[in-house]
Amino acid sequence: MELMERRRFLTMPLAAMAAPGALLAATAGSAQAAVATAAIPTVPAITTPANTLKGLGHGGKDALALQQINSLKLKWHYTWGSHPNVATATPFVPMIKSARTLLEQDAIGYVTRQLAETKTKHLLGFNEPDHEAQANMSVDQAISLWPRLQATGLRLGSPATTGPASPWLADFMAKAKNKGLRVDFMTMHRYAWPKADEFLRKVTELHERYGKPIWVTEYAVADWNATSTRPSVYSRAQTEDFMRATVAGLRAMPFVERFAWKTRPALDPKMGCSALFHTNGTLTTTGKLYASL
């Protein structure tokens, strides 16, 4: 699939964008999608491949983790940490997960010392700073630490908040702009019902809000009301239809650079329908589908 110039975005329904071949069938009608931003420090531009890169977050450190990463035919992976956990040919992107990993665990040191090995040109920012169980940071703390990430010279992804419309993210981006701090692409998480049009609309809105490329670093179908006695109302078939449509839709968007499905254990009541692996570690039908896309 040939990628359009990043300055132009097709003005076509999201449902049509999710259909295979829709991008090539679109007419020439287009509109400016990027919003104007103030001049801030930049790094050399990265040319994104025409085929938006499929990835995965995987924190495993054993032979099974290696097998699972390799089985999905990924173009990149990350571990929510500053260094890779297994030796795989799949390219790795580091993350500075939290203030603690930055200040107490020498995360920046790990990233920079391994550049010759990882050859990464990207660095992911804090993980869900608006969530108590994750990075759990104030906006002001994140802003105060951001220059340390910027000093690596790597292309920087925004903090990944619990949702793309998070007030925390809006506050962070406004303060980063006011202080002349650099954010090169936006990262987003999205867990919801299996409605591809709505998901793709959220991706578009995030791009239009900040005028930057998008990485969807976590997404899947989830039923947050599910319990061990009342499992998810969503089926694996619904989830797989959603996966097919969203992967096609993301690849049709010229501003989406990368995406990563989020898996949980197959017996997880809230997200089991999104699991890529059986309890024995082998691929589910959803995993086999993701590997094929």
State residue 210's pLDDT score: 97
Q: What is the pLDDT of residues 8-64, one digit of tens each?
A: 333 344 444 444 334 333 333 333 333 333 333 334 344 444 469 999 999 999 999
Sequence spans of domains, the chain: 50-292
Q: Could you tell me the two tokens for 146?
A: 């951001």
State residue 51's pLDDT score: 67
- Rounded to an integer, what distance in angstroms lies between the CA atom of residue 159 and that of residue 12? 29
CATH number of 50-292: 3.20.20.80
Q: What is the pLDDT of residues 167-201, one digit of tens each?
A: 999 999 999 999 999 999 999 999 989 999 999 99
Q: What is the pLDDT of residues 61-105, one digit of tens each?
A: 999 999 999 999 999 999 999 999 999 999 999 999 999 999 999
CA angle (263, 64, 278) in 5-degree steps: 45
In 10 A of CB 33, how many CB atoms?
18
Q: Which of the pair, 46 or 142, is modelled with greater confidence?
A: 142
